[in-house]
Structure 1
Amino acid sequence: MPTNSTKLLLPLTALFLQGSITSACEVWSGVQHTFYGYPDNDPPGAAISQDCGRGFTAGGTGTFSDPLTMATAPGELENCEVVYVPYLKKYLRNEDYCAQCVVDWQSGLRHIDVWTGESTVNGGEDQINCEKQLTTAESIYTIIRSPRGDLEVDPNPIYTPGNDGQTCHADRVYPGFDSQQIC
């Protein structure tokens, strides 16, 4: 026969387990956003430091089910953690290491580096110029940890290798948002 303490432990255990499975949406403001891709990855290419379900290769489209690769300092976010970036209207997954992010994290600045382009095509200087257009002195934005899976996603890639003159989609950014609509 269960004792009174056993009867109390079962609901508390269930509550603890439920809380550890889902966490509350959290808004982090003041996060430096930079961009990287095939030509300026270290070493150049699409190799990343973590396997979060697609091998050790950067990629993604930015949807909840196919988040775009991002890099940051170890410990800043959980490995393979998915966040939402309102500035880009994309979901990102922490699956790579960023050396400058480590320096910034140690000095108290949150910093993410967002993958641009494809995993098989080197966009060269055109891609690097696109990353520079996106990385400005004002590139301090918000990320959403533990986001809902139904937030608005811009389906356009950040960078598309090609000769059509529309390779950089730096105009597809959204600097203003209402966190009340997200969390």
Structure 2
Amino acid sequence: MPNPRQAHRFEVFLTGYSYWDNTPPGSAAISKPVIHNRAGGVGTYNNPITIAVGHVIEGRRQTLDFKPGTRFYIERLRKYAIVEDVCGDGHRPQDGPCHTGYQGRPWLDIYIGGERANASITTQCARSITAFQHVIINPRRDYPVHRGAIVDSGCNTFSG
């Protein structure tokens, strides 16, 4: 197992959630604020985009798959992200795909924005970034960045 503070590259199943399909819908509410009070960010190291991770609820205790404040760098999006939210609802989120993963890979759900876009545009954007993607956990600060909300930047992915 890699050192939890060292950078480590691995593959995840990445999806996107928006202002329109957040919980509650039509909001940017987050459950584990670290540097933002609402889901957001522009993708830089100092202002990473909110990302949601799976979690387990046992009794009254909630345990996230990655600790709040954990940073990732998503290579194809050229964005830094930070764990500030959870995905998976209900009394047993551990039974859902956000916690169990997809085809053996962890599931991460990045906030794409969308407050100033309509719901169909954000849904199309989320679908366009949904894929197996390489990420770096605990990344260094100097990777290339494409600044801005994902939906505002055209939902671009970059190769190489």
Structure 2 length-normalised TM: 0.78
Is the 1:46–1:58 Cα contact (8 Å) retained in structure 2?
yes
1:22-171 aligned at under 5 Å gives the runs: 23-29=5-11, 31-44=12-25, 45-55=27-37, 57-74=38-55, 75-99=64-88, 102=94, 103-104=96-97, 105-106=99-100, 108-118=104-114, 120-121=115-116, 123-135=118-130, 139-160=131-152, 169-170=154-155
What do the CA deviations read for 1:56-96 (whole angstroms, capped 9, x no partner)? x1000000000001101133211121111101111000111
Runs of 4 or more off by more than 6 Å in structure 1?
none
Whole-Å separation in 2 of the counterparts to 1:123 and 1:68 = 20
Question: Any idea what SS the aligned residue of 1:144 has?
Answer: strand
Whole-Å separation in 2 of the counterparts to 1:65 and 1:150 = 11
Number of corresponding residues: 142
Determine the structure 2 residue equivalent to 1:10.
none
Structure 2: 5+ residue stretches without partners: 56-63
Structure 1 residue 109: Cα displacement: 3.3
**Larger relative helix fraction:** 1
Is the 2:40–2:149 Cα contact (8 Å) retained in structure 1?
no
Is the 1:83–1:147 Cα contact (8 Å) retained in structure 2?
yes
Whole-Å separation in 1 of the counterparts to 2:88 and 2:111 = 15
Q: Which has the larger radius of gyration?
A: 1
Whole-Å separation in 1 of the counterparts to 2:133 and 2:48 = 18
Whole-Å separation in 2 of the counterparts to 1:73 and 1:132 = 19
Structure 1: 5+ residue stretches without partners: 1-19, 161-167, 177-183
Question: Any idea what SS the aligned residue of 2:107 has?
Answer: strand
Cα RMSD for the two superposed structures: 2.3
Whole-Å separation in 1 of the counterparts to 2:154 and 2:116 = 17
Structure 1 length-normalised TM: 0.69
Percent of pairs with identical residues: 27
Whole-Å separation in 1 of the counterparts to 2:36 and 2:124 = 27
**Larger relative strand fraction:** 2
CA 1:50–1:156: 2 relative to 1, 3 Å: closer
